[in-house]
A and B are shown apart, each in its own frame.
Chain A
Amino acid sequence: QQQVKQSPQSLIVQKGGISIINCAYENTAFDYFPWYQQFPGKGPALLIAIRPDVSEKKEGRFTISFNKSAKQFSLHIMDSQPGDSATYFCAASRGQAGTALIFGKGTTLSVSS
């Protein structure tokens, strides 16, 4: 059973466009929701994270929108650039230090120039 469901599996966006990746979770005990960016052969890099007491968080071109009642959250990448081409993972955890991150299956983003 996939605890964190992520869509789409792949995404192609024109340079300057908006990339949107969606995630849904089941476990209401989750209260920490990060997004990671991963390039081939590299470790996941933390992009941005949110907690359920906030509906939106913005850092530069990256925005997380969070809908607690729907148990959904999404990543928006504004003004997408070719350098953003990577795999993006959403994740969730119970929000206690030392507890596991449960990842979505990932979205491969390609930004065409």
Chain B
Amino acid sequence: AAGVIQSPRHLIKEKRETATLKCYPIPRHDTVYWYQQGPGQDPQFLISFYEKMQSDKGSIPDRFSAQQFSDYHSELNMSSLELGDSALYFCASSPVAVDEQFFGPGTRLTVL
């Protein structure tokens, strides 16, 4: 079965640089979610989109922005990167009007 695709899988950036993470949801899933997971921590919700509109917003820094495109893929843009942004970033998707969220393999971001 098709799963959520995230790219890149690994990313190394310097402080104050920018990064763009991409998420391709499972086919026919119209809702995408972004989560951040630090080492040994639980996933923390950042933001979600339904039908290209922001649906819910969590503890997403102002330095981060995200959007969902017409083909339902989503991008998380991160600027002025800080050491504390080093984490696993997961995208999840869900089908129309369904609560179940299916997570992708994640992007490991390392900020040096």
Asked if B42 and A46 make an inter-chain contact with CB atoms under 8 angstroms apart, the answer reads no
Q: From residue 41 to 57 of chain B, which have CB atoms closer than 8 A to chain A?
A: 41-45, 48-50, 55-56
The secondary structure that dominates the A interface is loop
CB distance from B82 to the nearest CB of A (A): 22
The segment from B12-20, B72-80, B94-102 found at the interface with A is: B94-102
Known contacts A89-B42, A98-B56; decide if A43 and B48 are in contact (CB<8 Å).
no
- C-alpha gap A25/B83 in the complex (Å): 32
Interface presence of B103 (CB below 8 A)? yes
- Chain B's interface size range is 20 to 34
Known contacts A43-B90, A44-B90; decide if A100 and B45 are in contact (CB<8 Å).
yes
CB distance from A100 to the nearest CB of B (A): 4
Interface presence of A16 (CB below 8 A)? no
Asked if A100 and B90 make an inter-chain contact with CB atoms under 8 angstroms apart, the answer reads no
- C-alpha gap A11/B44 in the complex (Å): 23
Q: From residue 34 to 90 of chain A, which have CB atoms closer than 8 A to chain B?
A: 34, 36, 41-46, 49, 89
Interface presence of A105 (CB below 8 A)? yes
In the bound complex, residues from chain B placing their C-beta under 8 Å from that of A103 are: 42-44
Report the count of interface residues on A (CB-CB < 8 A).
24
- C-alpha gap A69/B20 in the complex (Å): 44
Contact sample, A vs B, 10 pairs, CB 8 Å cutoff: A34-B99, A34-B100, A34-B101, A43-B90, A95-B99, A97-B31, A100-B33, A100-B56, A101-B33, A103-B44
16 additional contacts (CB under 8 A) given A97-B98, A100-B45, A102-B45: A34-B100, A36-B103, A43-B4, A44-B103, A89-B43, A96-B99, A97-B55, A97-B97, A97-B99, A98-B31, A98-B50, A100-B33, A101-B35, A101-B43, A101-B45, A106-B41
